Amino acid sequence: MSSAVSTEPLLHRSFREISRPRFRSSTLRPSPPPASLSCAPKSPSFRHARRRCASGSGPRRGGWGGAGAGALLRVRASSSGAAVVEALESADVLFQEAFPLQRTETAKGKIFVRLDQGKDGQNWQLTVGCTLAGKWILHWGISHVDDVGSEWDQPPAEMRPPGSIPIKDYAIETPLQKSSTSMDGDEVYEVNISIKSNSNIAAINFVLKDEESGSWYQHRGRDFKVPLMDSLQDDSNIVGSKRGFDLWPGALGQLSNILLKGEASDYKDKDASTDLEASKQEVRCLEGFYVEQPIVKVVSIRNSVNISVKICPKTAKTLVYLETDLPRDVIVHWGVCRDDSKKWEIPAAPYPPETEIFKNKALRTLLQPKEQGNGFWGSFALDEEFVGFLFVLKLKEEDVWLNCMGEDFYIPVSSTRSSSLIRQKESDSTETSGKTMETNTEVSSTAYTDDIINEIRNLVSDISSEKSRKTKTKEAQESILQEIEKLAAEAYSIFRSSLPTFSAEAVLEQEALEPPPHICSGTGTGFEILCQGFNWESNKSGRWYKELMEKASQLASLGFTVVWLPPPTDSVSPEGYMPRDLYNLNSRYGTIDELKDLVKKFHEVNIRVLGDVVLNHRCAQYQNQNGIWNIFGGRLNWDDRAVVADDPHFQGRGNKSSGDNFHAAPNIDHSQDFVRKDLKEWLHWLRSEIGYDGWRLDFVRGFWGGYVKDYLDASEPYFAVGEYWDSLSYTYGEMDHNQDAHRQRIIDWINATNGTAGAFDVTTKGILHAALERCEYWRLSDQKGKPPGVVGWWPSRAVTFVENHDTGSTQGHWRFPSGKEMQGYAYILTHPGTPAVFYDHIFSHYQSEIGSLISIRNRNKIHCRSTIKITKAERDVYAAIIDDKVAMKIGPGYYEPQSGPQKWSPVLEGRDYKVWETS
């Protein structure tokens, strides 16, 4: 039973594989992924806080047989479970499947920073530690007294603790080691850094990285800072004592300044006058200190539930046996259905022991503990009239619901149906892992067809809405209707085709003559090529808008159709990602008038403009009565009702967050009507006043995608893309080949927006990293022979990229393998999806090659839905053919496309990549 607030998911068959149980209807569904998926992170973004696993969330209002608050009625139980198990073991198996369960648990601990004077009375020791178990890494560097404009440099060799690894030329990464001591009974992980008192180091800068969860802990988008020089005490960014060592806290919030004076300090026994005189003569005056802050870490835990369905020969009833390895008392919230509508109903008694009726809509059964081993089990006897068994699981003492990738578990129990499905399952299992080209293409065409169906649904919704009828011109409505007819005809021709392979040549030729009209809010035409028009340092000149205006014509000549501009608002951080007064558009990049001129210039050269909008969080201008910064000023003068209630740092009075909290600033509660109203008006104002054509949406993991749909419906952008940044799956430090769970989380967010926005294809970037770094190009084909990222499942919503301002530039938090950037661009600029090119790469020695790849893409009309055939994916080479017009390969290995009806001519070749066109 689906949630009452959701519609039929806009899911392609290609990614239903891991979002639903194996058998959902009379059509065979592939199995979900194995439960062994690992979630150790390797893809950080310093501005982003921590991740919360997507599964294990509770039911929505109205779903799961009405599983909301309500009275429970105790009912009569069946005879002993042993008799049922005995009958189960003697019956024929109709269905048997294991489903993975993912849930999260919260671990609490402390992060501490301590300064102690050395035993010699001269040198000092800085200790950074944590009381939570994990793979903690200190990412740190120093700044010297005479440094100008640079805050990070590598420390001298004698200062580096054992196990330190240099990061480029600006930082060091040092793993925290388990300490022999404990703190309040908890294990301690720490690292010690020795500091010579006679060095010329002005400060130590660091961030703390948790490799297991992907968390990077900073302070409002910037770094921890321990100043060593009195000259730094005037820095307004430093928090705490004005004397001696000080600490600038990170994303954990305002650390309590508990300063413990060093007992061995040279000035400790001197009188006040002597101490004052010494402070005038000495460059520095050090004091020991100790600060700590509570930390909460969300840990992902994997369990499973096993289901068996059999027919009892004695009673002719269908027996459903369920067991799980969940560690605590488990309740099964269940019901049955009579047909494919999956409508929940309650079967007739008798019921299993510990069963209650819930609001006459479902049953709740407490599972029994296993006699041997960990876990719980239950059995359910059903009459022949039912065809399906529906359920979700709940941990009894917690508000934690476990379902099947966002939907109810559905188990077929009809003997006829189950038998046919089992036979089909056995038939499928005989297929080898090496799929034929025909099979690959057939799967691709099925996904293509489902994508068309999704587009038709969106178009119908768009044209039928009252708002659309009022705001769209007659010509625009007719254009949408024509697009519906074209897509429907295309889907029907695919359906009628009896060929084992699918060719969209005729359709693509038609699209090549004339790009399709606007499909739906936020998705563009499909032929976009995006330029990120800034990097992390662009704000420092104070005149970035003027500088970029001089490059507008050049970007147009290179073939770019869309440019993404930096956040325009007044911001606590100069980069713009800590917005404060949303209607104040005078920023470090330039004035509001300069921004308007820049947008106008881009429009003159036929380039659309995306604004970078930060909707998840907002910095406050005023403190409340407790000294907490949660009162906002400016035109949108919200109070603490606009702040979510479950971030303890900002004492919000709103509802709980609908996503992951960004702990460096107050997270906005988008469930509030006044908040959504104000934000929609602001987006509309940006469209009309500035001329933005669409949006790049920052940190969309922080709030529900349904709110994004609301904002996009109101602002009607030409194109929109969300930054859903998540950690890939690793096992023992090595990236897993199967990243289906990672891309599914991105797909789920896109689906929550009803497909009105795309998302950056972080999955593809991460897999390209591993493939190119390790010379493992086989990673670029998934188990179905398709691209392994979002572009392989929903290409029209995948915005592929190699680098951006977070991962590259001077931040360099997840740099693309050095020297192999052009292999990355050869991949994304020839493949489906919407490619995005980073500013630093455009204006570099790569410009000519990038321009040539864009020309090839445009010349051959490659678009976001282009068809792809992966022809080779081996250790040292990957090759593919796109739309039967372009062939490409990356990697040092050999590949030449086979000549047949088509003759291939090489058109571009570079370091470990090559591209051909049909002649």
Active-site residues, by number, are 698, 723
Q: Residue for token digits 């104070």?
A: 542
E strand or H helix at 887: strand 886-890
β partners of residue 721: 696, 758
Sign of CA dihedral 413, 416, 420, 423: positive
**Please, which residues have CB within 8 angstroms of residue 775's CB and are 6 or more apart in sequence?**
875, 876, 891, 892
Ranges of beta strands (E only) in 485-628 are: 530-532, 562-564, 608-613, 622-623
Is residue 286 within 8 A of residue 244, CB to CB? The reply is yes
Instruction: Name the phi and psi angles at 25, rounded to 5.
Output: -155, -160
Can you say how many angstroms the Cα of residue 650 is from the centroid of all Cα atoms in its chain? 24
β partners of residue 301: 103
Query: Could you count the other beta carbons within 10 Å of the beta carbon of residue 896?
Result: 12
CA distance 761 to 741: 13
For residue 688, give the DSSP letter: I
For residue 686, give the DSSP letter: I
Two tokens at 29? 């569904």
Residue 166: is the preceding peptide bond cis (ω within 30°)?
A: no
E strand or H helix at 486: helix 474-496
Can you say how many angstroms the Cα of residue 192 is from the centroid of all Cα atoms in its chain? 34
Return the closest-CA partner of residue 239 out of 291, 295, 296, 193. 291
Return the closest-CA partner of residue 92 out of 415, 417, 428. 415
Residue type at 364?
Answer: R
Q: Residue for token digits 């739906």?
A: 520
**Please, which residues have CB within 8 angstroms of residue 269's CB and are 6 or more apart in sequence?**
none
Two tokens at 567? 């956040």
Sign of CA dihedral 747, 748, 752, 754: positive
Two tokens at 663? 């702990």
CA distance 227 to 250: 15
Provide DSSP, 811-858: T-TTPPPTT-HHHHHHHHTTSSSEEEEEHHHHTSTTHHHHHHHHHHHH
Instruction: Name the phi and psi angles at 888, rounded to 5.
Output: -145, 155
β partners of residue 670: none
For residue 726, give the DSSP letter: -
∠ CA 862-867-871, nearest 5°, is 110
First to last CA, the chain: 54
